[in-house]
Structure 1
Amino acid sequence: MAAPTPLSSAPPGPRGGRSSSNAADYAVDPLGFLTSAAREFGDVVSLTPANVLLAHPDDIGRVLLDREGLVAKIGAATRRGPMGFPLAMMNSEGADWERKRARLRPALRSDRLEGLERAAREGVARLVDTWHDGLEIDVHDEMSRLAMGVGAVHLAGRPLGARGETLIRAVAAIMRLTSAPRLPMWLPTRTNRDLRRSLRDFDTTLAALIAEHPAGEDDNALGRLLADGPPFAEVRDELATLLMSGYETTANALTWLLHALGGRPEAAERMAEPGFAAAAAKEAMRLYPPAWVISRETVRPLEAGGYTLPAGTTLGLSQWVVHRDGRWFPDPEEFLPERWLDGGRPGHRHAYFPFGAGPRGCAGASMALREVEVIATALCSRVRLEPVRPERVRPRPALALQPVGVRALVRPR
C-alpha cells in the first residue's frame, strides 16, 4: 500500500485521483473499482478531486461517530433530485433530524420485537404453504413478497394486499434502473422514462396508504408520522425511506443469507442452534452488506491517514471493501458464521458497519437483524433450498446491494 505523505498533500488514487475516467470506471463496476482502488492505493484514496474513499476503520469510526462536527450526513447538492427524499429523517441535519428521530423512536422500540417476530413466523408459514416439492423459485422475488408483508404490518399496521405488489414492482424497477449508468434525468431516454414511471407509481401508492390510514391509530410508524400533522411531503419522504431501507434491505439480506447457506448445507442444518442464526445473519451482512457504501461530506478540514481533506470533500465509506479486508476478517471471501460465535469479533471495532454507526446509524438495526434471523430460522425448519446454477449469482449495486440470479429448488423437510 502507498505510504502516507505529509499532511495537506493530496492522497494517491487511480490516474492520480483527478481523472474523469475514474468516475466512468466506478459507474461501470463500483464494487470492483472501489476494491481495487483500496488494495492498490491504501486506506485514503483520491477518486476525483472532491471524492475520497476511506478504507481504514480508524478513519471510518471517527467519521461515523463524529464528535467534533467535522462532517454532515449529506450535502445540499446531493439532497436534490428524484431519488433524494430530502424531507426524511435520514436526509436531515441538526435539530430537524433530532425532531424526526424522536417522532419515530417509539415505533422502533425493542419492545415491539415480539409483534414483529410473530408477523415474521406467520408470514413464513403462509409462504411455505404455497410451495411444493421440486418447485423452482426466484429467492429474491419470494423474499421480497415476504418482507413486504411483514414490513407492512410493522410500518402501517395492516397488510397492503394489491398495494404491496405495486410497491414491490416499483421498488424493484427503481433499484434496477438506478444500478445502471444513466444520463441526466431530463434527457428522454427509455431508462429515464421507466424510472420516472416507477417513481410515479411509488408516489401514488404511498399517497393512498397515507390517505387510508385510520385516524388516531398511532402505534405503528405511519401512525406516528401522521400524529403531529406534518406536511404530506414530509410523511411521504419518511415513509419512502422506511420502505426502501427496511423492506428492501430485509429482502436483500434474507436472499443473500439463503444463498450463502445453500453453499454450506451443514450450516443450514445448524440454524436452530442457539446463537447460530444470529451469527449466520451477521456473516451474510458482512459478505453482502445491504448498504454497500455510505457517504459523508466534510464541513471542516478532516485529517485521515496522514492527509488533510478540505471542507466540501465527499467521503466514501464502503462496507463492501472493509468487510472483505483480510486485515480484519481472516478468510474474508468465505461464509463463516462461526467467526461470530462465542463472542467473536472483527479485528477492529469499526471494521463491521452494515447499518452505519454512531448517532446517524440505522435506528431499526436491531429489529432488522432479528427479523432476518427469525425468518431464516423458520424457513430452514420447514424446507431445504437447493441452489440452482449458483455460479450465475451476482451482486447488483444499486441503492442497496441486490442479489441477482438466486434460484433454488424447494425440498420440504
Structure 2
Amino acid sequence: MTAMNEQSAPEFRFSRMESLLRGHRLRRLTVDGVDAVFVRDPVLVRRILVSDSKNYGKGELFRKARNLSRVGMLSEDEAMHRHYRRLAHPFLRSAKVDEYVPTMREIVRDVVCAWRSGEVVDVQAEMCRITCTISVSTLIPGLAPGTTAALSERLSALAWEMIRKPLYGRPAARAARPGASRRLSHARKEFRDLLASCIADLPNRPEGTGGYLAALLTDRDDEGKPLLTPEQVCEEAVMTMTAATVTTASVMSWALYVLSRNPVAEERLLKDLMRSGSSAQEHDAPGYTLRFLMEILRLYPPVWISCRKALADVTLGDHALPAGTNVVFSSYLLHRDPECYTDPHRFDPDRWISLNPGRVDASYIPFGIGSKGCVGEMFAWQELQVILDGVTREWKLATEPGNQIRTAPETTLHPRRLLMVPQPR
C-alpha cells in the first residue's frame, strides 16, 4: 500500500495529494493515520454519495466532527438522521428563507456600518459576527434583544475557534491532548450554557415562538414522549448553528478577498447587484452574482475533505472493497480537476455560463449531494448573496500591503489570516 502520512506535515498538502493521485481513479493511502481508499473520480464519488449511498456510513475521519453532537443529524442511526433533516427543513426551505432576507440585510448593515474608513478589519472575525447573528435571529426568533445579542456574540466566539481547529497532522494531535483546546472548550461552554437557559425558558414563552429550537424540544414519538432530552436539544442546536456559521463565514472571507484582487470582477458584480434582478436560486440561468459565488465555492469549498466507510463488501469501479474500508474524497481536488474544468486553478465566473455541474458526477459538490447533502443549502445561497451585497455596496476592501494570504485547511478551508482595509464607495 502506498502511504502518505500527513502527521509529519504541518498541514494537509493539496499539492502532495494531487501528485500522489495523478493518473489514479482510486488509490490506497494513509491519511492522518487512517488507512483509506482515496477517490479522485467524480463519477465514483457520486456513486458513493447518491446511487450506492445505502452501502456507506460515516467514516473514521468524520468522527472528528462528532465532538459537538451524537444525536440528531450526526447520529449513527440513519433513520434518526433523516428524521432530523426533515425537522429542520421547514426552517430552511426556500419560501421560509425569503422571509429571513429583511433580517439578514439589517444585520449586515449594522455590522458593516460600524467599520471605519482606513481602519483595519479582521474580515473572518466580522464574517463570523454577521453569520452568527443571522443564525440566532432567524432560527431562534422571539428572544429579547439582549439575549439575541449575547447568544450571537458567544456563537461567534465558538465559530471562530471552530474554523481554526486543526483536523489533521501534528497540529491535530496536539489539539487533541487534554486541556490543549482551552479556548475552544471555553467558547463552547459559554455558548452552550446560555443556549441551555433559553431552552429551559421556552415552555414559559408564548406559543409559536422559538422556531427551530422549539421544534427540537417539542419533537415527540408515537406515544407522545420527547425524542430528545433538553441536553440533547442543546447539543443538536450547537452542532447545527456552528456548522451553518463556520462554513458561510469562510466562504464570504474568500469572496471578499478575491473581489479585492480582481477589479474587473468587482465592477461586474456591482453592476449586477445594482440591477437587483438576479437570484441565488436560479441555477439554470445564473447571473453574474451567482456565477461569482459558484466560482468561489468551486475554488474554496469550506468542507474540503470527506470520509465514508463501506458498511458491506462493495465494488467501486474495478476495485472490490471489503466492509469497513474508509473511502476518502476531497471536494477541493474534485473542483480543480483539469478533466472537468479548463484551466482549473484560474478564477473564472463565466465558466458557469455553459457548465451544468452535478448532473452526472460529483465534479461540483460544495454542499455535498444526495441524502447527506447540506440541508441548509438554500439558506446559505441567500445569505451569501445578502452579505456580499451589503458589504460591497458600502465598502471597497483591500488587503494590507505585504499581507500574504495563505490557505488554511482546518475545520473549514479558510484564509490563514485576512486583515483588510475598508474605503467608502
Query: Given the two structures, how large is their TM-score scaled by the length of structure 2?
Result: 0.84
1:56 aligns with 2:41: yes
Deviation of the 1:250 alpha carbon: 1.2
Determine the C-alpha separation between the residues in 1 that align with 2:58 and 2:312. Answer: 13
Does residue 326 of structure 2 align to residue 314 of structure 1? yes
Between 342-351 and 391-400, the greater mean CA deviation after superposition: 342-351
The aligned residue for residue 69 of structure 2 is 85
Question: Which residue of the partner structure matches residue 11 of structure 2?
Answer: 28
SS of the counterpart of 1:353? coil
CA deviation after TM superposition for structure 1 residue 149, in Å = 1.2
Quote the Cα distance in structure 2 between the aligned partners of 1:65 and 1:81.
Answer: 22
The match for 2:382 is 370
Offset of residue 63 of structure 1: 0.5
Q: Distance in 2 between matches of 1:211 and 1:335?
A: 48
Choose the corresponding residue for 1:144, options 122, 128, 131.
128
Check the 8 A contact 1:79/1:91 in 2, yes or no: no
Change (3 A) 1:309 1:287: same
Q: Is the 8 A contact 1:107 1:219 kept in 2?
A: no
CA deviations 1:176-209 (Å, max 9, x no partner) are: 2435322484x445x2444443443343233234
1:286 deviates by 0.7
Aligned letter for 1:176?
A: R
Specify which of 31, 38, 59 is matched with residue 21 of structure 2: 38
For 2:56, the equivalent position in structure 1 comes to 71
CA distance, structure 1, for counterparts of residue 288 and residue 65 of structure 2: 42
For residues 271-286 of structure 1, what are the structure 2 equivalents within 5 Å? 271=269, 272-273=271-272, 274=278, 275-286=287-298
Shift in Å, 1:174: 3.4
Q: In structure 1, the residue corresponding to 2:7 is in which secondary structure?
A: helix
In the comparison of the two structures, how many residue pairs are matched?
392
Query: Could you tell me whether the CA contact under 8 Å between 1:87 and 1:233 is conserved in 2?
Result: no
SS in 2 for 1:161: helix
Alpha-carbon spacing, 1:51–1:26, altered in 2? closer, same or farther (3 Å): farther
Report the counterpart of residue 4 of structure 1 in structure 2: none
Q: How much has 1:135 moved relative to structure 2?
A: 2.3
> Within 5 A, what are the aligned runs for 1:128-277?
128-157=112-141, 158=143, 160-179=148-167, 180-183=171-174, 185=176, 187-188=177-178, 191-213=180-202, 214=205, 216-218=207-209, 220-228=211-219, 229=226, 230-271=228-269, 272-273=271-272, 274=278, 275-277=287-289
Higher mean C-alpha deviation, range 281-290 or range 153-162:
153-162
What is the Cα deviation at residue 66 of structure 1? 3.5
Equivalent AA in structure 2 for residue 72 of structure 1? G
Q: CA deviation at 1:305?
A: 3.4
C-alpha distance in 2, partners of 1:36/1:201? 43
User: Is 1:385–2:397 an aligned residue pair?
Assistant: yes
Give the letter aligned to residue 208 of structure 2. E
* Offset, 1:26: 6.3
Moved more, 92-101 or 191-200: 191-200
Residues in 2 aligned to 1:364 and 1:44: alpha-carbon distance in whole angstroms: 30
Q: CA deviation at 1:304?
A: 2.3
1:390-405 equivalent positions in 2, closer than 5 A? 392-405=404-417
Q: Is the 8 A contact 1:137 1:409 kept in 2?
A: yes
Structure 1 contact 339–345 (Cα < 8 Å) conserved: no
Deviation of 1:91 (Å) = 3.5
Once residues 343 and 324 of structure 1 are traced to their aligned partners in structure 2, the CA distance between those partners, rounded to angstroms, is: 14
* Contact 2:42–2:361 under 8 Å retained in 1: yes
One-letter amino acid of the counterpart of residue 201, structure 1? E
Letter in structure 2 aligned against 1:257: A
Find the aligned partners of 2:296 and 2:175 in 1 and give their Cα distance.
34
Contact 2:164 / 2:411 at 8 angstroms: preserved in 1?
A: no
Which sits farther off after the overlay, 349-358 or 272-281?
272-281
Q: Residue 245 and residue 82 in structure 1: after superposition, are their counterparts in 2 closer, same or farther (change >3 A)?
A: closer
Conserved 8 A contact 1:74-1:91: no
Structure 2 residue identity aligned to 1:83: N
Secondary structure, counterpart of 1:52 in structure 2: strand
Tell me the TM-score normalized by structure 1: 0.86
Secondary structure of the residue aligned to 2:115 is coil
CA shift, 1:297, in A, is 0.8
Aligned-pair identity in percent equals 26
For structure 2, list consecutive stretches of 5 or more residues without a partner in the other structure. 220-225, 273-277, 279-286
2:308 is paired with a residue of what secondary structure?
A: strand
Q: CA RMSD in A?
A: 2.7
**Structure 1 residues 92, 26: CA separation in 2 closer, same or farther (over 3 Å shift)?**
farther
Once the two structures are superposed, what CA deviation does each residue of 1:240-266 show, in whole Å capped at 9, x if it has no partner?
221122111111111111111111122
| Matched position secondary structure for 1:182 | helix
State the alpha-carbon separation in 2 of the partners of residues 260 and 101 from structure 1: 33
Residues 1:308 and 1:88: Cα distance change in structure 2 (over 3 Å): same
Matches of 1:130 and 1:63, distance apart in 2: 46
Q: Distance in 2 between matches of 1:307 and 1:27?
A: 32
Instruction: Report if the CA contact (8 A) 1:73-1:91 is conserved.
Output: no
Report the Cα distance in structure 2 between the residues aligned to 1:237 and 1:260, rounded to whole angstroms.
Answer: 35
2: CA distance between counterparts of 1:332 and 1:62?
23
For 2:291 and 2:370, the matched residues in 1 are separated by: 22
Residue identity in the other structure for 1:110: S
CA distance in structure 2 between the partners assigned to 1:95 and 1:128 by the alignment: 42
**Whole-angstrom distance in 1 between the partners of 2:268 and 2:73:** 38
What residue number does 1:352 align with? 364
Matched, 1:110 2:94: yes
Aligned-partner Cα distance in 2 for 1:226–1:176: 31
Q: 1:200 to 1:30 in 2, by over 3 A?
A: farther
Q: Render the CA deviation track for 1:106-147: whole Å, top value 9, x for unaligned.
A: 111211122222122112221222123222211111111111
Q: Would the aligned equivalents of 1:216 and 1:227 in 2 still touch at CA under 8 Å?
A: no
Deviations along 1:250-307, whole A, 9 cap, x unmatched? 1111111111111112211222424111111111111110111111110112222321
The one-letter amino acid paired with 1:52 is V
Letter in 1 for 2:79: A
Go from structure 1 to structure 2 and tell me whether the alpha carbon gap of 1:321 and 1:44 turns closer, same or farther (over 3 Å shift). Answer: same
For 2:140 and 2:212, locate their aligned partners in 1 and report how far apart those are by CA, in whole Å.
Answer: 6
The residue aligned with 2:29 is: 47
